[in-house]
């Protein structure tokens, strides 16, 4: 049985979503929706984290989850290396410092393991958070806007790194960017007016070439702006 979430949620007395069914099979599932639609709430429900919502339904998730929130949640008192190793340490797993260093290098922070998060830019912090999520090697990864603070070139490199390193896992990524969802998603869903609908995708493997995506991205952009 795959992972996923099914059900309905109310927040502050209003319906946030009703009778959604979001399966999370291996590969990338991307969740699009306007600001406030309920995307982060869905992610937190799958992660088993508190939300302000009353949820009726069921969640199927493994015990070990890689989690990357909208806020980077870095420990200010730890080094970058310590931050990347944190999840493994908390779960009692062996701290594989060599792999953490490799991941920090892959996100462009080679040789900077001893720095503290406070001395980093927003984009650098986001890349440390990404390295930490990739370190988990969990069967399910939940990523909330994981590339939002990155410039276009870095964003592309980090997308491709995440595609490579999370291959085999089930990934749920929340994004505001239709192009990103269409490029990376094996499945793409749109949360709109409390319902979840699948987005038709061009054929072919991910990452998809951008020219094939422009028309669908335009259509989605119009729906998100409505």
Ligand X SMILES: Nc1ncnc2c1ncn2[C@@H]1O[C@H](COP(=O)(O)OP(=O)(O)OP(=O)(O)O)[C@@H](O)[C@H]1O
109 closest CA partner among 87, 96, 126, 95: 126
Query: Using the rule CB under 6 A, which residue among 40, 124, 126, 159 binds ligand X?
Result: 40
Per CB under 6 A, the list member of 1, 12, 92, 118 interacting with ligand X is 12
Q: Least distance to ligand X from the beta carbon of 101, Å?
A: 32
- The minimum distance between CB 43 and ligand X, in angstroms, equals 8
Q: Binding to ligand X by residue 52, rule CB under 6 A?
A: yes
* Interacting span for ligand X (CB under 6 A) from 29-37, 86-94, 100-108, 135-143: 29-37
146 counts as binding ligand X under rule CB under 6 A: no
Burial 34-45 (b: 16+ CB within 10 A, else e): beebbbbbbbbb
Nearest residue to ligand X by CB is: 52
Instruction: Give, as ranges, the residues between 182 and 221 that touch ligand X (CB under 6 A).
Output: none
Of 70 and 79, which CB lies nearer to ligand X in the complex structure?
A: 70
- Closest to ligand X by CB, 8 or 51: 51
Does 175 bind ligand X (CB under 6 A)? Our answer is no
Q: Which stretch binds ligand X (CB under 6 A): 33-41, 89-97, 118-126, 194-202?
A: 33-41
Nearest distance from C-beta of residue 13 to ligand X, angstroms:
10
Residue 178 binds to ligand X (criterion: CB under 6 A): no
Least gap, CB of 40 to ligand X (angstroms): 3
CA distance 26 to 86: 25
What is the DSSP code string of the chain?
--EEEEEEEEETTEEEEEEEEEEE-SEEEEEEE-TTSSHHHHHHHHHT---SEEEEEEEE--S-EEEE-SS----TTS-HHHHHHHHHHHTT----HHHHHHHHHHTT-TT-TT--GGGS-HHHHHHHHHHHHHHT--SEEEEESTTTTS-HHHHHHHHHHHHHHTTTSEEEEE-S-HHHHHHH-SEEEEEETTEEEEPP--SSPSSPPGGGGHHHHHHHHHHHH-
CB of 72 to ligand X, least distance (A): 15
If one asks whether residue 36 binds ligand X (CB under 6 A), the answer comes out as yes
Contacting positions for ligand X (CB under 6 A): 11-12, 16, 33, 35-41, 51-52
């Amino acid at each position: 049985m795959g992972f996923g979430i099914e059900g309905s949620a109310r927040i502050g007395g209003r319906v946030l979503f009703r009778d959604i069914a979001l399966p999370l099979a291996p590969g990338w599932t991307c969740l699009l929706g306007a600001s406030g639609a309920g995307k982060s709430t869905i992610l937190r429900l799958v992660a088993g984290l508190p939300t302000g919502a009353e949820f009726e339904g069921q969640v199927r998730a493994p015990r070990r989850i890689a989690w990357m929130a909208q806020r980077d949640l870095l420990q200010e008192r730890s080094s970058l290396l310590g931050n990347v190793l944190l999840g493994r340490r908390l779960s009692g797993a062996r701290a594989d410092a060599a792999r953490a260093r490799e991941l920090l290098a892959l996100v462009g922070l080679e040789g900077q393991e001893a720095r503290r998060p406070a001395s980093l830019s927003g984009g650098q912090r986001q890349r440390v958070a990404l390295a930490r999520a990739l370190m988990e090697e969990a069967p399910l990864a939940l990523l909330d806007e994981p590339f939002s603070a990155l410039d276009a070139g870095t964003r592309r490199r980090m997308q491709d790194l995440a595609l490579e390193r999370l291959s085999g896992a089930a990934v749920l990524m929340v994004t505001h960017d239709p192009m990103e969802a269409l490029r990376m998603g094996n499945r793409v869903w749109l949360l709109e007016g409390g319902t979840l609908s699948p987005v038709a995708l061009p054929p072919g493997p991910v990452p998809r070439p951008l020219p094939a995506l422009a028309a669908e991205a335009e259509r989605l952009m119009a729906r998100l702006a409505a």
